[in-house]
Structure 1
Amino acid sequence: MVDDFHADASENIYWQYVQQCCPHFNLNVLSQLKEDIQTTNWEEPSSAIEFNNVAVMALVAADNAEDLSERLIYWEFALDLLNQGAELPNNFLCKAHLAVAYSLINNLKDSTNIADNCFLETLQALSIPASRQPLGLVYLPRHLKKWSIICSEQLPVILQASDGVTQALTLSTEVLCHSHLFFLNKQGLKLLQLAVQFNTNSAMLNLQLGLCGICHEHMENLAYIYRARILSLDSSIILQSLYLVCQHLQQMLIAEQWKAIATTYAQNNPQDIQWKWTELDVDSPFTYVPFEDTLLLAVESSLHSIVTNVLIAQGDWFEVEMELWRDNIYAGMTIIDVGANVGVYTYSAAQRVGKLGKVIAIEPFSGCVRCLEETRRVNQLDWVRIIAGAVGEHNGKARLSLKSSNEANKLISEDDEVTPTDIFETVAYFTLDSLIEQENLNRVDWLKIDAEGHEMQVLAGSNRILQEFKPNILYENIEGKQENSIEVAEYLMQHDYKLFYYRPYLKQLILVDLLEELQGNLNIIAISNSKFHN
């Protein structure tokens, strides 16, 4: 396969990749890089930097491959080259790209371990005076929104680094940042702080660090959002973030000032949906974010909301199963979304099923229901049915415990301890099977369940739907106790379902043979044996 890459052709293809990632980047400033890679032996690589350069070309070829089997071949070829290069001296870029390659398929364990070791090794190498290591080709993923935002900004920075060690340091830092959902844990916050130290001029990293810090109640991190504003004056999401922070701090006059500044940009771009949030009142309980290019998604105007933070900071929802969801929902399907939140999965499906299909979004929290209804209204998606309530094993009422972040809201049973300061909503409680007649269902193609540890109760009230319609099921696996996730898996297998986890980029469903393999997977896909084809 090395024969696929020749000097002139490889360099031309790579510069095309760079231009696609960074359309406004001037390639003429890369004279040092061009000089360094001219010595690459593309047919018979022997040094670490040569293995790196050929591997990068293989990753670019994998990106360009329309056939998934061809993509797999190029990805595995790149992996083999990088492993060979990692065994040689001056191997930092090979190790950094090895971490990138594993992150593509969501192998976070290997990706994080390799990136962590590479980061420490490059730091040590930079502290020791040594001869300069040559620059190498660099690959950053561009197929995912969360990567593409950083790719367009950071790829030119890495390509213009002083040498290969600095390139590897920056690249490994990016991998570490993308290996954590930084709004969910403080480890992610620490990694962002580290990344900004080495990339002080990155507007996106400063924005992400600012939002992440505020999400964790570090209000001093507002300074990073101000720095992001200086670095990118006309960014809608940065102005929106400043606006939301001021709302969060109850500084409504300052919020109005940021909105006024943003409105001037909006007036010059009246058709650009990223500025539509400026049309909302300052006391609106929701704001708008662009979603899937053409959709306006209403989300809570609260920086306590993880969904709001993620969609603003990363441009898309973080779960890798979104790729599977988007690829496997078609016109005319019927989709049920249990625990819809503000509708990331709901409205992604709605765009695909079209008017001939149906999407039923079920959500207990009134704040999220309000967002769901606004998104349906503003996008005129009348085939979305929104049902306020919670799904379980019987019909009746339930209590929903409300937290500062709606993602932490939880149904309360009679056995759960409560305090006088706890806040609740009383919500409708019903079985999914009760919707068959109520919604006149004659098919259910996909069932998504995100019930915060309540998945077993949802399934217990879904026997008819499982038996009659045999929907594909995407369910949250790691919320709550481990025993609960095993119970759900065993229940589905007893109902003639096979379980899989999803490997993104290569778009593979990996069969779960042992229940122990459930560990570490945020979501699991269940497919009826009657529908699954090898």
Structure 2
Amino acid sequence: MIKIIFTQIIKTLNKVYIKLFGIQSLFKLFDQISTNNKFNPLVGYYKNIGILNSGNIYQTGESFFIEKIVNRYLSKNNLVFFDVGANIGDYSLFLNQIYPQAQIHAFEPNPNAFKKLSEKTKIVKNIIANNYGLGEEKKQIKLYSYKKMKNTQLGTCKKDILNNLFDVKDQIISHKINIQTLDYYCNERKIEKIDLLKIDVEGYELAVLKGAKKILPKTRIIQFEFNEYNIFYKIFLKDFYDLLYPQFQLFRLDLKRLIPLGGYQTINEIFKFQNIIAINQPKYD
């Protein structure tokens, strides 16, 4: 009986809405509801397995990772950290706070973000800020970002990402940026190992790793982001497995834990915000 009454109420509301605003407006309303995370039953499930925990380093679990996990696997002597896609420097500064003796190499090609990164890290002697990106080969490419929005620090090499995910077609600007490889950078500076390699470059993560094939065996921990941006690059989680596994064991970062992913499984191909942690098994002290 309750179900019948509820159904009748919905039908009546639909008729009233259509009469006032039209059928197309109703379809648009349903579309907005269906795509709103608040009404999506998958959101709660995802959050329980370390997905969609976006935000600052406390909301993503990165503070736990840096303080507890990194500390567990690394000695505190001669630490070398790489922050690729450093944005305005929050991650690098937190690393410096927890590991003040570590050498930190930060990379940010977006000129708007790099300006803030430089300002925030200029008095920190052990943070080296580089105004270019890392990738599979040395080249110059276009980086797309917002024109007049608070997220102006966001930058991506795929214009379609901004067009499709952010709906800012009339606000997109581009910058020409330089790309270098991680192997070249390490060779030039005689860097023989990396303790932590963090990569957050809006879908360009695999290219960074492909330009680091020589230094990867001497890298202890990798953190990289995997999300819907990878769809536009046609990159799957399997591509990362092919490059890293089994030398690196892969985990998904949750707020207070690492979730083992084990060997490759198609069920883990979830194109939503998540941080993947790859830990090198052989010790190279």
Where on the TM-score scale, by shorter chain, does this alignment land: which range? 0.5 to 0.7
Contact 1:402 1:424 in 2 (8 A): yes
Conserved? CA contact 1:341–1:368, under 8 Å: yes
- For residues 262 and 153 of structure 2, what CA distance do their matches in structure 1 show? 27
Q: Deviations over 1:265-300 (max 9, x none)?
A: xxxxxxxxxxxxxxxxxxxxxxxxxxxxxxxxxxxx
Which one of 183, 187, 190 corresponds to residue 433 of structure 1? 183
Structure 2 match to 1:278: none
User: Could you list the per-position Cα deviations for residues 107-153 of structure 1 after superposition, in whole angstroms to 9, with x for gaps in the alignment?
Assistant: 941878xxxxxxxxxxxxxxxxxxxxxxxxxxxxxxxxxxxxxxxxx
- The 5 A counterparts of 1:335-350 are 335-350=81-96
Residue of structure 1 in register with 2:237 after alignment? 486
1:102-141 equivalences under 5 Å are 108-109=44-45
What is the 5 A alignment of 1:374-413?
A: 374-377=119-122, 380-403=123-146, 404=149, 405-406=151-152, 408-412=154-158
Residue 457 of structure 1 aligns with an amino acid whose one-letter code is A
Q: State the secondary structure of the residue aligned to 1:481.
A: helix
Contact 2:106 2:129 in 1 (8 A): yes
Q: Find the aligned partners of 1:369 and 1:428 in 2 and give their Cα distance.
A: 13
SS at match of 2:192: coil
Higher relative contact order (CA 8 A, sep 6+): 2
**CA displacement at 1:317 relative to structure 2:** 4.5
Which of the two has greater helix per residue? 1
Q: Which residue of 2 aligns with 1:525?
A: 277
Bigger fraction of residues in strand:
2
The 3-state SS of whatever aligns with 2:215 is helix
- Provide the aligned C-alpha RMSD in A: 3.3
Write the mapping of 1:21-420 to structure 2, written as runs, cut at 5 A: 108-109=44-45, 317-327=58-68, 328-329=70-71, 330=76, 332-355=78-101, 357-377=102-122, 380-403=123-146, 404=149, 405-406=151-152, 408-412=154-158
Contact 1:331–1:352 (CA<8 Å) still a contact in 2? no
CA distance in 2, matches of 1:110, 1:441: 38
Question: Based on CA coordinates, which of the two structures has the bigger radius of gyration?
Answer: 1
Q: If the length of structure 2 is used for normalisation, what is the TM-score?
A: 0.67
Size of the alignment, in residue pairs? Answer: 223
Structure 1 distance, partners of 2:239, 2:47, is 29
| Change in 2 beyond 3 A, CA 1:516/1:437 | same
Residues 492 and 526 of structure 1 are in contact (CA less than 8 Å); yes or no, is this contact kept in structure 2?
Answer: no
Change (3 A) 1:387 1:490: same
TM-score by structure 1 length? 0.37
Distance 1:374 1:448 in 2: 21
SS at match of 1:381: coil
Is there any run of 5+ residues in structure 1 with no aligned partner, and where?
A: 1-106, 113-178, 185-309
Shift in alpha-carbon separation, 1:319–1:331, aligned structure 2, 3 A: farther
CA-CA distance at 1:351 after TM superposition = 2.1
Question: What corresponds to 2:34 in structure 1?
Answer: none
The letter of the residue matching 2:80 is: T
